[in-house]
Amino acid sequence: MSKWLLRGLVFAALMVIVRLLQGALINLMESQALWISILLVAVFAIAAFVWGLADGRADARTNPDPDRRSDLAMTWLLGGLFAGIVSGFVAWFISLFYENLYAQGLLNEVTTFAAFTALLMFVFAIAGVALGRALVDRKAPPVQRRGEDGDRADTDVFAAVNAGNYPDDDRASVSEGAQAARTESFTSTPTAPREAESAGSEPATDRGREQS
* Residue 156: predicted pLDDT: 45
Task: From 143, 128, 134, select the one nearest 73 (Cα to Cα).
Answer: 128
Task: Kindly tell me if the per-residue pLDDT of 176 is higher than 70.
Answer: no
Tell me what pLDDT residue 125 has. 96
The tally of CA atoms less than 13 A away on the side-chain side of residue 10 is: 14
Quick check: helix, strand or coil at residue 202? coil
Q: So what's the pLDDT on residue 123?
A: 96
Burial of 207 per CB tally in 10 Å (0-12, 13-18, 19+): exposed
Average pLDDT for the chain: 77
Question: Are the beta carbons of 89 and 108 closer than 8 angstroms?
Answer: no
The string of pLDDT tens digits covering residues 16-75 is: 999 999 999 998 888 888 999 999 999 999 999 999 999 999 988 888 877 888 889 999
Ranking 5-9, 74-78, 94-98, 144-148 by mean pLDDT, the lowest is: 144-148
**At residue 179, does pLDDT exceed 70?**
no
Confidence of residue 177 (pLDDT cuts 50, 70, 90): low
CB 137 within 8 A of CB 60: yes
Distances (CA, A) of 95 to 14, 21, 30, 138, 179: 16, 13, 19, 48, 95
What does the DSSP 8-state code read for residue 68?
Answer: G
CB 109 within 8 A of CB 89: yes
Nearest 10 degrees: CA dihedral of 164, 165, 171, 172? 90
Is pLDDT above 70 for 184?
no
SS3 (DSSP) at 199: coil
Contact 19, 41 (CB under 8 A): no
- DSSP for 152-186 reads -GGG-HHHHHHHTTS-HHHHHHHHHHHHHHHHHHH
What single DSSP character describes residue 143?
A: P
Q: How far apart are CA 191 and CA 212, in angstroms?
A: 23
pLDDT in tens, 70-82: 889 999 999 999 9
159 or 61: whose pLDDT is higher?
Answer: 61
The full set of domain ranges for the chain reads 3-139
